[in-house]
Structure 1
């Protein structure tokens, strides 16, 4: 299905947020996620379905100052 990930169009096979993070290579990282502008806590990712056209934002922590 086609979704937008961090502003870029992507075609993924995953049907839920947790599987999408694995498919996109973020499963081992501590990230914050928002789907269509709404924060999704880590505990809810397996229960958060994806639909074509969804907008997923994935944020990682950055070190520095």
Structure 2
């Protein structure tokens, strides 16, 4: 069995993941609340939450993950 990996960059840090992991899989693995994040993809595009489970990353792609925090 040939398992393929990609190295992506999450908030500037390298992260190795399986090629078949969706963005949603990666966010859940990294313990992000997917209902409270904004994702910037390759410094050029904001991704919509309804695309997280069908969006797959390529080697050397980058994500900036901004978490939304409530307070008072």
In which range does the TM-score fall when normalised by the shorter chain? Answer: 0.7 to 0.9
Is 1:18 the counterpart of 2:52 in the alignment? no
Asked if residue 43 in structure 1 is aligned to residue 42 in structure 2, the reply is no
Q: Return the index of the structure with the highest Cα Rg.
A: 2
Q: Unpaired runs of 5+ in structure 1?
A: none
CA distance in 2 between partners of 1:36 and 1:28 (Å): 19
Q: How far did residue 35 of structure 1 move?
A: 1.4
Structure 2 unpaired stretches of 5+: 1-5
Q: Deviation per CA, 1:5-54: give whole Å up to 9, x if none.
A: 00111112352211110111114551111111210011111121111111
Q: Tell me the TM-score normalised to structure 1 length.
A: 0.80
Structure 1 vs Structure 2 CA RMSD:
2.1
**TM-score for both structures, normalised by structure 2:** 0.74
Write out the 4+ residue segments of structure 1 that deviate beyond 6 Å after TM superposition.
none
Partner of 1:6: 11
Query: Aligned pairs, how many?
Result: 65
